[in-house]
Structures are given as C-alpha cells and as structure tokens.
Structure 1
Amino acid sequence: MIYEDQGDMEKSLQFGLIAAHLNPSDCEEWVKLADMSLEQDNIRQAIICYTKAIKYDPSNVRYLWERCSLYEQVGEHKQSMDGYRRILNLLPSTDGEHFMQLSRDMAK
C-alpha cells in the first residue's frame, strides 16, 4: 500500500503478488492484482492472477469471463474456448438467453 500511495505501481504489484502468494485463497486480492497487471499492460500476469482466483472460486462466471477475454487478446483461442465451455456449464438453466448468445459467439 505504501508503494501504491507513492505512485510506484510496479513495486506495488510485485509486493501485492508476494502477499497474495502468502494468502492464496483471497480471490478478491487476485482480481485486484489482475486489474493492476492490466493497467501496466501485462496481460499474461493478469491471466495468471485470474487463474489463481478461479482456483479458489471455480464457479465465479465473472472471473472465467475476464480470463477468456484476456486469452482472446493474446491469441490463445483454445484456452478461451475451454473457458467459455466452462461458463456454459455454470450458467443456470433459467439463463437461456445468455447461454444461446454465448453459444453463438463461440461458433463465430
């Protein structure tokens, strides 16, 4: 937090990653670190952070969705499609409209 207050976001991210590894089950911290990574244009690091968050909250569709979007940005389409398939399995049966829209997007 000290580095963040001083405006040194790179050091803040580095120490945040250390802290997150010491308490890996804090999903919100991983998501915060993913956002910080994206602010520094480090998409690969953001993917890793979302992967850690998903490990401890595998049914969170938002985390999966964000990671799939990042995979698409770096051209890893297979991982993106795998993630979208996981999202389809997690969507409730009452959410048919989103299911169909995502299925159409995947087909494209």
Structure 2
Amino acid sequence: MSDTTPAKGSPEEMQSAHAWLEEVADLLGLDRQESRSYVGDVLKLTSAVAHNRSRPAAPVTAFLIGLAAGRSDLDPSQILGDVTARAGDTGAAGRTEK
C-alpha cells in the first residue's frame, strides 16, 4: 500500500471513493447527488452477485444495469432491486464459482 492509498475500510477510503465518483459523474455529465443516491444499492447488488453468483460478474452486472437504464425509460432503482433479488436467489442457478 502506498502512502497515498487510504487504509481499507477507513473514513479516508470512503472520502476517496466519493471524490472519485463525483469526478466520474462530472465527466459523464451526471448529477452528483443523483449518482451518489445509487451508491448503497449498487454496493448491495455487487455484494449479492459476488457472494451468490460470481465475483468477476459483479462489476459487469452493474455495468449492464447502467447500460439498460441508459437505453430505456426504466427506473434504475427498480432495475437494481430486481437484479439484486435475482442474484440473491440461488435456488435455480446457484453459485458458479468460489
């Protein structure tokens, strides 16, 4: 870990994450507050996918949700909720890797 990298789980790490997300929101022309409002739901989604389906699929799933939301009139919160629920349902597909 370099001297500029905040410790994992520290308040500084969260500040760094939020600063990065604001920078990306600005770059993409998105409202910072709206973008920030999805952070908790996206983290729940990626956790559910990583723990119940496939760790490498977690960030790609988040990307696909963003792509779908951007190409449709669907509510991003609804899409996040639906996919998170599906990711947590391990009865049919189950976890594919450890």
TM-score for the superposition, normalised by structure 1 = 0.28
Give the structure with the larger helix fraction: 1
Which structure has more relative contact order (CA 8 Å, sep 6+)? It is 2
TM-score for the superposition, normalised by structure 2 = 0.30
